[in-house]
Amino acid sequence: MTDKCDFLGEIIGVKKAIVIRDAPNRGKRYPDFRCIECGKNVPPHAESKSQPAHFEHKRNTESPNCSLRHQR
């Protein structure tokens, strides 16, 4: 897990990504958040009681060698 991603060539934090994701005027297309290590899709997840806000690979089988992939 990480708290940074690549968004359109800019490294941004998870808080900014959540604002972008939740913006009412962003249209129907989901923002393209990418892992800074492997380049795969990583949607942002808000803070919970058990984890801080973070980015997580869409599928755990995607990029199995990425060190930033969430380990269950």
pTM tops 0.95: no
Q: Tens digits of per-residue pLDDT, 34-71?
A: 999 999 999 999 999 988 999 988 766 667 778 887 55
Distances (CA, A) of 64 to 31, 35, 45: 23, 13, 20
Count CB neighbours of 42 within 10 A.
30
Could you tell me which residue, 2 or 16, shows the higher pLDDT?
16
